[in-house]
Structure 1
Amino acid sequence: MSTRTTRTGNWGQDRRLEFIDFRLMWEGRLNRADITAFFRISVPQASLDLAKYQEIAPENAYYDRNQKSYIANASFKPVFATFESNHYLNELIGLETGILSPSESFIGWVPPVASLPLPTRKVQPETLLDLIMAIKNQRALVVDYRAMRDEPSIRTLFPTAFAHDGHRWHVRAYCFNSEMYKDFVLGRFFDIVESISPSSEVPVDTEWETFIDVVIGPNPDFSMNKKMIIESDYQMDNGEAKIRIRKSQYFYLKRRLNLNENGEPVNESQQIVLLRIEEPLISSGDIEHE
């Protein structure tokens, strides 16, 4: 799932300085026209922004009269932008999928890119709106929800949060019928019957409130060279990488990464394995999901 790149600057000069920093870092150059076209400001204002940037980072760029552009020096170090590949790549995917419009992205020259589309999961906007309002106003909902293993049923839920497992959206909710928290797939709500006040006090969702570190490592059966490749690919430190998640999301992470509870590789080509779950420990049973 792609995520939006968070900008640190506001809509004033700070944001324009971040834009200058971003273009110099990822594209190696920019000129006044880049700034005026993106922000719809005057040439004098763009000149002031460039002067301010050079005052802050005098060694980052120089003006090339032939190209009529500012060129990044070999010693360039970002001042405002985040020097993380994922920020650029997420923004690239955002442009390709339409999540971001060109006016929202700092990327100027866009390299060829393709993303693998997944089947669209149907979520009725009216249902989503009802769930949002229920969470905001702390209301319970009487719903017609169709779980895969159950007959159609009317149940009362107290929605508390949304969660994405990398494939589909769920709403986290306390189910008054089963008296426990569960995850409900958004596309399986057939009707929101009514919004009501909770009939009783709703307990704390300890599975949601608790964070755990899922520690992964390379397949122990791999050669030393393959282990080194996996460690580099997953940014491991001493053969380990930690993924911090809510305890309620562990079931989905385990399924997505194809991890065995016992730490053994699922098959000989399995690249990563589960090393351990760091405190607080999670029970071996899967979370309840609908």
Structure 2
Amino acid sequence: MDLNDIAFAQRQRLAYIDFCLLFRGHLTRTDLLNKFQVGLSAGSRDFAMYKELAPQNLLYDPARKAYLQSTKFVPLFEHDSRKTLTKLAHDISDGFDAVGDIHFPVEAPSQLNVPDIFIVARLVQAILNNKAASIIYTSLSSGSAAREIVPHSIVDNGLRWHVRAFDRKSQSFRDFVLTRISKVTVTDQGSQPGEQKIEDHQWVRMMPLHLVPHPHNVAQPTAIEMDYGMENGALKLNVRAAMAGYLLRRWNVDCTEEASLRGGEYQLYLENRQTLYGAENLAIAPGYAV
């Protein structure tokens, strides 16, 4: 049977089944019914149809009353990495882009890289199921090596995607660039004390940033105020300490003590730079020095 011969509404439900198996590793009939507000018989037909189209993709676990991703799973639909990551970042988990979204005439700047969808899927599975993951990671300093991490968040830093995770090798929370991960295996081990997101102090800590038009590089500060929706001449943000450096670099915010960076790219100045004390990734913040 060809997917294009199936009614669009049912294709959406099949894509949702496919998406959940890929990214969560499991799905119940109740999940499907609640998502689409369909009856029990319609839901049963959808699972039967999915199994007919991809019999190797799922197994039924009577104890959990859930369908599980099989070891032979191959996605029935093509899930675009960039669209899926963007949707996940906004808490949208439907898989609908795989059946043909409306194309709007809006373009976004290309990111430096596009992560492998299967790498992303396994990391999301580990996060949602509170499991550790074994990965092969290539770092700039030590090359390729096996590591065991406990991931808690997938992050878009404005330039590329990374996973925030506890690294059991260094016994610390770190950022791992997704495109530098070549293999992921979700383990049966759960997180241990000290490895959970709540223990990631750089992630939990929120830092107030007060951004103002650069006092030397901007001739018409009102234009900058309009660009960033400033109120009373300032934009006040609360940012995770783990993300502060990325934001300041992406927006080219002058972080020097006396707004001493020159150049048209520096249109913003960090008015309360003392707030950065204790943040760990400030080497990339423009002009910041302790």
Q: Give 3-state SS (helix, strand or coil) of 2:230's partner.
A: coil
CA distance, structure 2, for counterparts of residue 166 and residue 140 of structure 1: 26
1:146 aligns with 2:138: yes
Matched, 1:274 2:270: yes
Secondary structure of the residue that 2:164 maps to in structure 1? Answer: strand
The equivalent of 1:246 in structure 2 is 240
1:124-178 Cα deviation digits (max 9, x unpaired): 2222121111111111111111112222111110001111112211111000101
Per-residue deviation, 1:260: 3.3
Q: Residue type matched to 1:179 in 2?
A: Q
Change in CA separation of 1:287 and 1:207 when aligned onto 2, cut-off 3 Å: farther
Counterpart in 2 of 1:160? 152
Q: C-alpha offsets along residues 171-205 of structure 1, whole Å, 9 cap, x if unaligned?
A: 11000101110111111111124514157423401
2:281 to 255, 267, 286: 286
For 2:174, the equivalent position in structure 1 comes to: 182
**What does 1:24-173 correspond to in 2, within 5 Å?**
101-102=101-102, 113=105, 115-119=107-111, 121-173=113-165
Amino acid at match of 2:200: D
Q: Is 1:209 matched up with 2:201?
A: no
Question: Within 2, Cα distance between the matches of 1:162 and 1:239?
Answer: 33
**Residue type of the alignment partner of 2:244:** Y
Distance 2:221 2:126 in 1: 48
- Tell me the secondary structure at the aligned position of residue 253 of structure 2: coil
Q: Is the 8 A contact 1:172 1:181 kept in 2?
A: yes
TM-score by length of 2: 0.55
Residue type of the alignment partner of 2:272: R
- Provide the TM-score with structure 1 as the length reference: 0.55
Q: Deviations over 1:205-229 (max 9, x none)?
A: 1111121221110111256x61222
SS in 2 for 1:177: coil
Change (3 A) 1:228 1:265: farther
- Matched residues, percent identical? 24
List gaps (5 residues or longer) in structure 2. 1-96, 285-290
Partner of 2:224: 230
Counterpart amino acid of 1:267?
R
Equivalent position SS for 2:243: helix
Q: Any conservation in 2 of the 1:212–1:277 contact (CA below 8 Å)? A: no
From the CA coordinates, give the structure whose radius of gyration is larger. Answer: 1
Amino acid at match of 1:266: L
Q: Secondary structure at the match of 2:119?
A: helix
- 2:4 paired residue number: none
Q: Amino acid of the residue matched to residue 274 of structure 1?
A: L
Distance 1:260 1:232 in 2: 19
1:187-198 → structure 2 map (5 Å cutoff): 187-198=179-190
SS in 1 for 2:165: strand
Partner AA of 1:143 in structure 2:
I
SS in structure 2 opposite 1:156?
A: strand
Which residue identity lines up with residue 133 of structure 1 in the other structure? Q
Cα RMSD (Å): 3.0
The farther-off stretch of 187-196 and 175-184 is: 187-196
How many residue pairs end up in the alignment? Answer: 182
